[in-house]
Amino acid sequence: MYVTSVKIDVIILTQKKMNDKKVAFDQIIELFKESFSFVKLYKILLVFGIIFVMFGGTISGVNTGSLNSSNFKSNYNNIKKYDKPILENNKYRNSIVDVAEFIQDNYLIIIPTVCCVALVWLALSTYLRNVSRNVLISAVDLADKKYDMSFKSLWKYGHSHVLKTFALEVIYSIASLILGVLSIPLIFFCGLGIITLIVGSVCLGILLDLSKRYLLIGGKSIEDSIKDAVDLLKNNIVNFILYWVAKFLISIVLAVVSFLMVFLFLFVIIMVVVVFGLFFPLGIVFAIIAAFIVFVLAIMVMSFIMSLIQGPVLAVIEVWKTKYWKLLVSEK
């Protein structure tokens, strides 16, 4: 009789766990619907989503510093050397050497200018990315608190927390770097290295999401937000597997869209080659500068198009993450 009672209790407990798992999946779908409706209600969040994607690394590698890297006199002299038609100027055969000489003659200006512009661009993109994401993370909580949901007020809120969220990103970046270094021996000596790196990277990504919400919404310190994020992840492994699967499926859709942009990028390359050929009679340096300007402008246009596509999706995802976090914290 006692054994039968224990078996019944085990069956009931197992069914309860299965029902909880099913409810969690249903809640994921429901939270997505709520998040979509929330962003639809507060359309200003679409702007922050676009800003976040635009400055999230899509065009950070494009450096416009070389456009201003030499003085006017040097440019004029180089252009003047190639003002003859192509067939009449034998120096076109040594165009690569000419470019190298141009860089060598102006490297004291080119290198500092490129470095300064790169640093300014990195700082600006990091700032804009953090401001916009802070807003997207806290939007649900701010709306619940009847916060002014205008662009100016939301920007002020995001700006006020930039240093804290940036510090959190630095900490997790260091942790990710350490994980990569520690995984190298495992990759060489056994197959567990790649698995460790993938699982560790996924966990760090989830922990960063959770830590930012504890930091911004929960009002925790950086140290406490990390500790609470770790505790929440440990106690909700199944829920966060579903959380990651949902994010992964959405990432695949966005990746397909990004892959389609590759064909547009090939068109950009062709256009750059055409521009280079058109300006080549004016001089190799002038042609390179003209082609580079076209390339930079084309990449900026492509990035803007991708931001318009991915920005709204990302806004919904960030709102969904916050709602999911609130649900798990409330049930903790």
> Encoding tokens for residue 280?
């080549």
| Cut 0.85: pTM above it | no
Band (pLDDT 50/70/90 cuts) for residue 143 is very high
Task: Find out whether 238 and 28 touch, Cβ atoms under 8 Å.
Answer: no
Structure confidence at residue 320 (pLDDT):
92
Phi-psi region of 33 (alpha: psi -120 to 50; beta: other; left: phi over 0): alpha
Structure confidence at residue 6 (pLDDT):
36
Q: Which among 91-95, 97-101, 259-263 has the top mean pLDDT?
A: 259-263
pLDDT tens string 298-326: 777 777 888 888 888 889 999 999 999 99
Percent of the chain having pLDDT more than 90? Answer: 36
What does each C-alpha distance from 37 to 46, 312, 320 come to in angstroms?
A: 12, 12, 11
d(CA 124, CA 60): 10
Structure confidence at residue 89 (pLDDT):
44
Task: Find out whether 60 and 125 touch, Cβ atoms under 8 Å.
Answer: yes
Residue whose tokens read 């100027």: 89
**Helices 95-144 and 192-216, packing angle to 10 deg:** 50
Structure confidence at residue 191 (pLDDT):
65
Percent of the chain having pLDDT more than 70? Answer: 68
Band (pLDDT 50/70/90 cuts) for residue 28 is confident
d(CA 2, CA 319): 49
Q: Of 12-21, 115-124, 225-234, 275-284, give the lowest mean pLDDT range.
A: 12-21
For 245, other C-beta atoms within 10 Å of its C-beta total 12
Indicate the domain borders of the chain.
Answer: 2-330
Q: Identify the CA nearest to 225 among candidates 182, 167, 181, 266.
A: 167
- How many residues does the structure list for the chain? 332
